[in-house]
Structure 1
Amino acid sequence: MSENPVPEPSARVNTSTGQPAPRTEDGSARPVTPGSQAAEGTYRAQPVSFVRRGTRLQGRRQQAWDDHSDTLAVDVPRHISDTSVHPEYVFSAAEEFGRTAPLVVEIGSGLGDAVVYAAKENPAMDFLAVEVYTPGLAQTIQKIVANKLTNVRVVQANAPEVLSTMLPTGSVSQVWVFFPDPWHKTKHNKRRMVKDTFAPLVARVLSPGGTWRLATDWSTYAEQMREVGTDSKEFTNPHDGERKSAESPLTQARLSGVDCEQSNEPDDIGGWAPRFDGRVLTSFENKAHKAGRVIFDLAFRRN
């Protein structure tokens, strides 16, 4: 017997962080890929913008995943968790879709309503739905199959990793971030996805002239999004100065006081985009309307 036997999976740890190695579904330790961010102890050095919820699949979702994930879900090499992306992996849209076409990436695709609708309406474009929740991905696959679409793929991945290493530089025509978690409590604001460190990642993958589209129903997050895009030297707001004062959705939100402190202070900055016609009205957005919340749209063009 060896004097230094390999420890059982239950005892294995990430030698860089000293933390127990994450587990696969069968309970065995997930290997840490040598040379990866995890091996260097840098995985999730910053707070992520999501909290993992249930991942169990049942019924039709499970069937859709079993039958179609091999062809519709991008097989991403991992390095520590099922939402991480090995930094050496680079996605090829041409290989995945078998053609060269404009690529639209939706970050946080949820149940897939927006991306599937857009793919159906724009068959000459390709779409990549990025989501961390397995049930959402499975339901998106259901909709892709039901609509017989060939121009959509899904990927389970943490968005910053997709934007920083997985997608080639300048390979995307549009990036969509629709209704990300607002993390509205002050102590949780650090978890918001759209912040100053996020803009350069979006800029990296967008081709010159490409568009970054955002939407939210939370006024303080809308202001943060506007500031992030405006302050970035890599983007221009084509709607700069538009929809301000009485026409501003922010002014309307302040007057209503539904999601912020009620105020008569007008928004003299503006810069809000008109509602994006390519975004289907989802059940989530409908609920926001019924609650009296104001919807904010923003669009920034890559310089």
Structure 2
Amino acid sequence: MTDSTEQHGEQAENTTYMRKIRSFVLREGRLTKGQQHALDTYWPDYGLQYQSSALQLADVFGRSSAVVLEIGFGMGKSLVQMAKEAPEKDFIGIEVHRPGVGACLSDAVAQQVKNLRVFEHDAVEVLEDTIADNSLDTVQLFFPDPWHKKRHHKRRIVQPEFVQLLRRKLKPGGVFHMATDWENYAEHMLEVMQAAEGFSNLSADNTYVERPEHRPLTKFEQRGQRLGHGVWDLMYKKDN
């Protein structure tokens, strides 16, 4: 084997290793009867399956409108609220934790929200394969796992490669909106985004923005505010 072949093999091995690094740990948890019922009953109307070819979102929703995609919606309360308060837009949520998916479906049906669909799958794979390029108006990433230990920072989802994947999926002028309650992660996000090609910071001072009204204030966030914890929002627009 030549040196160049050995080098190429090492690079391929490293790339494969990096792609196996997940930004989440799958903590399945126990489904409540209500969550299981929601999955069994409402998935045909609200669920989207990962596929290796791009979905036509206008066909999914039966109309052409602005599309907001949220990565890691947790139990889905804020996502359902946003969809309910913006019926002119269509919302897609991606979550790997099954109890959260069930809770989100149950809440959407209870509030008669029709402009929402959800994936139960790895967000990176969905974005790479199932979401068409230049199809999203907004991508939201609220309170992702901060992986606060330094040796785990490589697991943070906001990394240069991921940001450029989002850039492909966003329409020109589309917005990537992040929020975190970990200052170190906020600084990491800011550093990655400031160096990212093709994005402009929507902050007046090129740092963080005030929480926009369309992002609901969660109970978790309200509790944090009472305890004096900070929350940092970052919003970046894809350049034309």
Q: Provide TM-score, normalisation by structure 2.
A: 0.89
Task: Please name the residue that 2:10 is paired with.
Answer: none
Q: Determine whether 1:71 maps to 2:45.
A: yes
Tell me if structure 2 keeps the 8 A contact 1:208–1:302.
Answer: yes
In structure 1, C-alpha distance between the alignment counterparts of 2:105 and 2:17, rounded to whole Å: 28
Structure with higher Rg: it is 1
Task: Please name the residue that 2:120 is paired with.
Answer: 156
Task: Please name the residue that 1:223 is paired with.
Answer: 187
Q: Determine whether 1:275 maps to 2:211.
A: yes
- Are the structure 2 counterparts of residues 96 and 43 from structure 1 closer, same or farther at C-alpha, using a change threshold of 3 Å? farther
Tell me how far 1:43 sits from its aligned partner.
8.8
SS of the residue corresponding to residue 198 of structure 1 reads helix
- Are the structure 2 counterparts of residues 168 and 69 from structure 1 closer, same or farther at C-alpha, using a change threshold of 3 Å? same
Task: Please name the residue that 1:81 is paired with.
Answer: none
Match of 2:58 among 85, 91, 94: 94
In structure 1, C-alpha distance between the alignment counterparts of 2:34 and 2:23, rounded to whole Å: 28
Q: Determine whether 1:285 maps to 2:221.
A: yes
Match of 1:49 among 18, 23, 31: 23
- Are the structure 2 counterparts of residues 162 and 75 from structure 1 closer, same or farther at C-alpha, using a change threshold of 3 Å? closer
Per-residue deviation, residues 63-100 of structure 1 (Å, max 9, x unmatched): 111110111110224xxxxxxxxxx2212211111111
Task: Please name the residue that 1:294 is paired with.
Answer: 230
Tell me how far 1:136 sits from its aligned partner.
0.4
In structure 1, C-alpha distance between the alignment counterparts of 2:82 and 2:104, rounded to whole Å: 13
Per-residue deviation, residues 160-187 of structure 1 (Å, max 9, x unmatched): 1122222100000000000000000111
Tell me how far 1:228 sits from its aligned partner.
1.2
Q: Which one-letter code corresponds to 2:118 in the other structure?
A: V
In structure 2, C-alpha distance between the alignment counterparts of 1:273 and 1:183, rounded to whole Å: 23
- Are the structure 2 counterparts of residues 43 and 187 from structure 1 closer, same or farther at C-alpha, using a change threshold of 3 Å? closer
Q: Which one-letter code corresponds to 2:43 in the other structure?
A: S
- Are the structure 2 counterparts of residues 166 and 192 from structure 1 closer, same or farther at C-alpha, using a change threshold of 3 Å? same
Tell me if structure 2 keeps the 8 A contact 1:90–1:167.
Answer: yes
Task: Please name the residue that 2:104 is paired with.
Answer: 140
Tell me if structure 2 keeps the 8 A contact 1:118–1:278.
Answer: yes
Q: Which one-letter code corresponds to 1:107 in the other structure?
A: I
In structure 2, C-alpha distance between the alignment counterparts of 1:288 and 1:197, rounded to whole Å: 31
Tell me how far 1:46 sits from its aligned partner.
3.2
Tell me how far 1:158 sits from its aligned partner.
1.1
More strand as a share of residues:
2
Report which stretch shifted further, 217-226 or 48-57: 48-57
More helix as a share of residues:
2
In structure 2, C-alpha distance between the alignment counterparts of 1:163 and 1:74, rounded to whole Å: 13
Q: Which 5+ residue runs of structure 2 have no aligned equivalent? A: 1-14
Matches within 5 A, 1:233-248: 233-241=197-205
Per-residue deviation, residues 49-71 of structure 1 (Å, max 9, x unmatched): 11111254231111111110111
Tell me if structure 2 keeps the 8 A contact 1:91–1:166.
Answer: yes
In structure 2, C-alpha distance between the alignment counterparts of 1:236 and 1:114, rounded to whole Å: 26
Task: Please name the residue that 1:31 is paired with.
Answer: none
Tell me how far 1:239 sits from its aligned partner.
1.4
Length, aligned pairs only? 225
